Amino acid sequence: MTARTTTKNVIVVGSGIAGTTAAFRLRQEGYHVTLLEQEDYPGGRMSSHAVSGGDSAYRLDRGASWLSRNYLPMIKLLEETGLASRMLPCSNELGVLRDGKVHRLSFVRPTDLLRTGLLGWRSKLKALNLLRDLSAARPALSWSDMSKAAGIDIESAQEYALRRLDKPLLDYLVEPLCSTQFLAPADEISAVGVLSIMWSTFGAASFTFDGGVGRLPAFLLDLPLMRSEQTRVELNARVSDVRQDGNGVHVTWERDGANRVEHGDACVVAVPGPIAAGLVPSLTDDQRAYLSALRYTSDVHVTFGLREATGETALGVAIPLREHPDLCVVLHEHNLGPGRAPADQGLVTLVFRHHWSAARKSVDDDTVVEDSLTALTEVLPDLAAHIGKHREMAAVQRWDRAVLARPAGGYGDLARFTSSLDPRSPIQLAGDYFAYSTTNASLSTGEAAAQRVAALLST
Ligand SMILES: Cc1cc2nc3c(=O)[nH]c(=O)nc-3n(C[C@H](O)[C@H](O)[C@H](O)COP(=O)(O)OP(=O)(O)OC[C@H]3O[C@@H](n4cnc5c(N)ncnc54)[C@H](O)[C@@H]3O)c2cc1C
């Protein structure tokens, strides 16, 4: 792959999938790129790391752990870069717990909804409304900018389910989708969020990479175009200020207590909205207020490395609110692909609704692990016993800002915000808050920001 040449330099703040994709696309356009990341690893919420326990080596995804072939912009990028050869299949089943029994549905066959014992016939007929509404909503759903959904954003997922579906569909489909995707119950999420999940999740197979989905940003940074002299990646580089100057931008960043100033022709700020609000002084008061108020749910999840795999075939089992108030999904990560756990061994993650995590933000890891097992015992005692017997490792991961939980009305606010942004500004924003929290949405917003910058700098 050859890049056009120019000596113009673009600074990208944040090496999550939005930032790394923006950086890659800008390099393809021939720009020099400086990528600044505050952590000592790239990838942000899409990153994986090695953890050892007993005699075993495990690989854990810090954030995102599941990818879909519905993620078309991601697939296109993988194909263009030759990275598609790294894609691996994984389990396509999601379980839902009802009255102690796990009902398994396939992502690939949305018609499973009509066959499953999870729901009665009346609910199955009502589920057809969901498919109809999804088809009607489709033109308003976009990976890189969900502001077009403002017109259909009229109620919460709970209100929608009670109006168009029925109570069992609320309890065993809509609420589990909200909790697994947004870590929040259905009354806190816009109905558009549920339609987005259905659109992005069902009807296509899952895929992964050897050793975790979080390897994608690292793969991108390892491409020849990104290892060239025209790309500079600075880790442990915390940016504090991004401002426009006479002929471009200057960016202040800090390492080891020393401030440095970087000059660029343009900048892509690819960090979560509330952080962007504090970095860019040229935002208007309304823009800053919008970004600062964005509601990300918090997440504290616990992963156990096991000497023996669980017997579960699904990649995860959703625990509806009716079944447990706190625990919302159990991921059987060894079903998510190779390289997570040694052969025949297990990797299980317990994920909780945001109120549980928020209450444990400052609680020590040992107590969090104990609390998580108490919750599991209340709902899946056999699995809790299996973990107790075969546990080799326990790791706690914490995210203050895990995923965006947009309430009803949030898409209208987004539309007002996006329409107020200047597409010709040398400072462009990217991140999941333009759409909804998935790796693919972030990737798409990174591509869109890179395109706007390239259009500006080429004139
Ligand atoms: C627990 C969890 C599970 C998830 N599961 C899935 C899933 O299964 N599938 C899926 O598709 N999506 C999932 N998501 C959502 C997905 O991970 C995110 O939407 C996406 O990765 C966000 O990418 P981003 O580049 O927009 O932001 P981020 O990944 O947050 O990247 C922002 C980067 O900027 C850096 N940064 C922040 N401030 C500064 C600063 N001042 N200076 C320099 N650098 C800075 C951060 O360290 C970070 O690396 C999950 C998220 C979480 C947290």
**Is residue 37 within 6 Å of ligand 1 at its C-beta?**
yes
CB distance 17 to ligand 1 below 6 Å: yes
Domain boundaries, the chain: 9-46+215-294+406-457, 66-90+205-211+296-404, 109-201
Per-residue pLDDT, 111: 80
pLDDT in tens, 158-193: 999 999 999 999 999 999 999 999 999 999 999 999
What average pLDDT does this structure show over 144-163?
96
Q: Is the pLDDT of residue 433 over 70?
A: yes
Ligand 1 pocket test, candidate residues 271, 335, 443, most atoms within 8 A of CB: 271
Distance 61 CA to ligand 1 centre (A): 12
Mean pLDDT value across residues 274-278: 98
Residue nearest to atom 53 of ligand 1 (CA): 402
Task: Give the tokens for residue 91.
Answer: 């389990």
Domain 66-90+205-211+296-404 belongs in CATH node 3.40.50.1970: no
Nearest residue (by CA) to ligand 1, atom 31, is: 16
Q: What is the pLDDT of residues 191-234, one digit of tens each?
A: 999 999 999 988 999 999 998 999 999 999 999 999 999 999 99
Q: Which residues contact 385 (CB under 8 A, 6 or more apart)?
A: none
Residue 62 alpha carbon to ligand 1 centre in Å: 9
The two tokens of residue 279 are: 């970095």
Domain spanning 9-46+215-294+406-457, CATH architecture: 3-Layer(bba) Sandwich (3.50)
The Cβ-side half-sphere exposure at 79, using a 13 Å CA radius, reads 7
The conformation of residue 115, written as its DSSP 8-state character, comes to H
Cβ(239) – ligand 1 distance below 6 Å: yes
- CATH fold of 109-201 reads Guanine Nucleotide Dissociation Inhibitor; domain 1 (1.10.405)
Is the shortest distance between the CB of 431 and ligand 1 below 6 Å?
A: yes
Dist CA 93 CA 22 (whole Å): 32
Alpha carbon of residue 443 to chain centroid: 10
Mean pLDDT in the chain?
95
Beta pairing partners, 393? 305
Sequence-ordered list of residues with C-beta below 8 angstroms from that of 310, at least 6 positions apart, any chain: 332, 334, 346, 348, 383, 386
DSSP string, 197-214: HHHHHTTS-EEEETT-TT
Q: In three state form, how does the secondary structure of 38-92 look? A: CCCCCECCCCEEEEEECCEEEEEECCCCCEECCCHHHHHHHHHHCHHHHEEECCC
| C-beta 53 within 6 A of ligand 1 | no
Question: Quick one: 257 exposed, middle or buried, by C-beta within 10 A (0-12, 13-18, 19+)?
Answer: exposed
> Minimal CA–CA distance to 17: which of 47, 39, 38, 41?
47
13 lines ligand 1 (CB under 6 A): yes
For the ranges 262-276, 315-329, 335-349, 435-449, the lowest mean pLDDT is seen at 335-349
As a whole number, mean pLDDT of residues 312-334 equals 97
Residue 338 has pLDDT above 90, yes or no: no
Q: Is the distance from the beta carbon of residue 90 to the nearest atom of ligand 1 less than 6 Å?
A: no
Q: Which two tokens stand for residue 155?
A: 């109620």
Taking the C-alpha atoms of residue 223 and residue 216, their distance in angstroms, rounded to an integer, is 11
The per-residue pLDDT for 72 is 96
The C-alpha torsion from 259 through 262 and 268 to 269, rounded to 10°, is 10
Q: Whose CA is nearest to atom 52 of ligand 1?
A: 63
